[in-house]
Chain A
Amino acid sequence: ELKVEQNPLFLSMQEGKNYTIYCNYSTTSDRLYWYRQDPGKSLESLFVLLSNGAVKQEGRLMASLDTKARLSTLHITAAVHDLSATYFCAESGSNSGYALNFGKGTSLLVTP
């Protein structure tokens, strides 16, 4: 049973463009996390969304959470090359001790 589904899994976009990554989850968790991972590195926390309607922004990234639709989005505005990385969403609450269930990740490549 797939608990967290991300799409797209691969995304190539030009600098300056906007795009949205979607994260659907199948549990009743109201905690949703977004992480960034660079090649060969561990995870960098981007956002923690704790309630329905939560919206957080940091630089060119904005994340939102709709717990009724069980959907979170990560919106990229005016992409730059430095945003190239893999982005994971994760939910907690369905595992023991509130461990995280991760999506498969979205591999983002921003090209000139």
Chain B
Amino acid sequence: GAVVSQHPSRVICKSGTSVKIECRSLDFQATTMFWYRQFPKQSLMLMATSNEGSKATYEQGVEKDKFLINHASLTLSTLTVTSAHPEDSSFYICSASRGLAGLSYEQYFGPGTRLTVT
């Protein structure tokens, strides 16, 4: 149990276009989902926290108008990179937490989406 999927696993897009990444919890309901970004040979950096049915909370320095997050259901969160540029090329990883934030300590990570902007 506790499987998180991401789609697509890899995407290449042209500069100026938008890309949508989906994160799904396959066998549990995820009230809270998190989006992280990882540049080559670096650590994971939290981008935003997403709660079902409410607006995402973005970390400092992350442009909410550029990285649109929607958490419309308890099993799906989407991250849309709008007007992508080469510097947005990165490995995007989502994670999901069961139950209410703070009451569940385990986070389940998706397999990641590698975005390349040309």
The answer, among B42, B57, B105, for a CB contact under 8 Å with A97, is: B57
Minimum C-beta distance from A8 to chain B (A): 15
Q: Is the CB of B43 within 8 A of A88?
A: yes
**Chain A residues positioned under 8 Å from B110 (CB to CB):** 42
Per-position 1/0 for B65-108, Cβ under 8 A of A: 00000000000000000000000000001010100011001111
Main secondary structure of the interface of B (DSSP, over half): strand
List A residues 69-112 near B (Cβ within 8 Å).
88, 90, 92, 95-105
A102–B108 alpha-carbon span in the complex (Å) = 15
Interface range for A: 20 to 34
A92–B36 alpha-carbon span in the complex (Å) = 14
Question: Interface size (B, Cβ < 8 Å)?
Answer: 25
Closest partner residue, chain B, to A103 (CB atom): B43
| A-B residue pair count with CB separations less than 8 angstroms | 60
Closest partner residue, chain A, to B42 (CB atom): A104
Q: Is the CB of A92 within 8 A of B34?
A: no
Q: A104-B42, A104-B43, A105-B43 are in contact. Are A99 and B49 (CB under 8 A)?
A: yes
A96–B45 alpha-carbon span in the complex (Å) = 14
Q: Is the CB of B109 within 8 A of A43?
A: yes
Q: Is the CB of A96 within 8 A of B105?
A: no
Q: Is the CB of A88 within 8 A of B106?
A: no
Does B13 belong to the interface (CB within 8 Å)? Answer: no
Q: Given A45-B109, A100-B34, list of 18 further CB < 8 A pairs?
A: A35-B109, A43-B93, A45-B106, A48-B105, A48-B106, A50-B105, A88-B44, A92-B107, A95-B46, A95-B59, A96-B49, A97-B49, A97-B102, A98-B97, A98-B101, A102-B43, A102-B44, A104-B43
14 A/B residue pairs, CB under 8 Å, sorted by A: A33-B107, A35-B109, A40-B114, A42-B111, A45-B109, A50-B105, A97-B49, A97-B57, A97-B102, A98-B105, A99-B34, A100-B107, A102-B44, A104-B43
